Amino acid sequence: MRTAFKCRAYPSPEQAVVLNRTFGCVRLVWNKTLGERNHRFRTKGARTTYRETDTDVAELDPTMVVISRDPDGRWYVTFSVDTEAPVPTRPVSHSIGVDLGLSDFLVTSDGERIANPRHLAGKARNLARHQRRLARCRRGSSNRRKAKAKVARAHRKVRNARQDFLHRTTTRLVRPADVIAIEDLNIRGMVRNHHLARAISDAGWGEFRRQLEYKCSRAGRSLVVIDRWFPSSKICSTCGHRLAQLSLSARHWTCQGCRTRHDRDLNAAKNILAAGRAVARAGSGNACGADVRRQGPTLPRSAAKQETRTSGKAK
């Protein structure tokens, strides 16, 4: 399998000059190519694929080394190598369901809660101070260049802290479970809610799922994705009774069928696990989570009909 590595680079001043000049050439080629594509579309109505663009500019080798530079001035080198496929992790005969949220980053069906670190919210005040200083600097001045670098460094610290948290969390989930069940959240639709957009983006749910997918693949684990319309929060994980309505502010509720007192997030994680187990028995792939067998007379109906379809869901 092919594995990519990204490492910090420390070019000498002479090398930095050459690389900066090369970046300028790359921008020039890209802008000219983009102009040709737009011109062809306007005059002939024909689109230009990336394959055709690469053929006209240069044949790109996917194994080539890529040099990049962050806005704060740090250099990185990215390269890929062919490695042997990793040995699957030893089975542990354990499955977990994961419910993502904002108050807690996630709650598992085992009852484990991982707090939401809120990286951007914790650095917002410091970042705003740097941005105000940048806004006061004259364009093109040396002070503005320094202030711009400070803003970029502040963003980098938030980004790196978030990446470190997500890597630790996903690894912590993959190691003790053979099957991991999660919900297919409509993140793109959810960030349209201006009240929650910053908090959802700060949580990094999309990156969390990406890391979980490739880590499960490497470790030989099964990742089951439950349909986003499956009402995991509204179904009693004990008897299967389904609530008609459940407001987002209600963090606990009592089942009218068996009188069980539920924590909203923990109950959702247990329902996600039940749906994931049903799909894991039937085969791998995405799942809707409908018609899952439970210890009770009430069975969930088709997942597509259980909730009013909205742009997304947040817990």
Residues with catalytic annotation? 99, 183, 265
Helix (H, G, I), strand (E, B) or coil at 114: strand
Residues 223 and 183: beta-carbon distance below 8 Å: no
Neighbouring-strand partners of residue 82: 2
For tokens 């890391």, the residue is 211
For tokens 């259980």, the residue is 306
Nearest-angstrom CA–CA distance, 61 and 215: 26
For the residues of 9-46, what is the DSSP string, one character each? E---HHHHHHHHHHHHHHHHHHHHHHHHHHHHHHHH--
CA–CA distances in Å: residue 13 to residues 10, 19, 82, 225: 9, 10, 32, 49
In eight-state DSSP terms, residue 88 is P
- The CB density around residue 2, as the number of other CB atoms within 10 Å, is 9
Residues in the chain: 315
Helix and strand totals (H; E) in the chain: 8, 10
Nearest-angstrom CA–CA distance, 116 and 315: 12
Helix (H, G, I), strand (E, B) or coil at 225: strand
Residues 173 and 213: beta-carbon distance below 8 Å: no
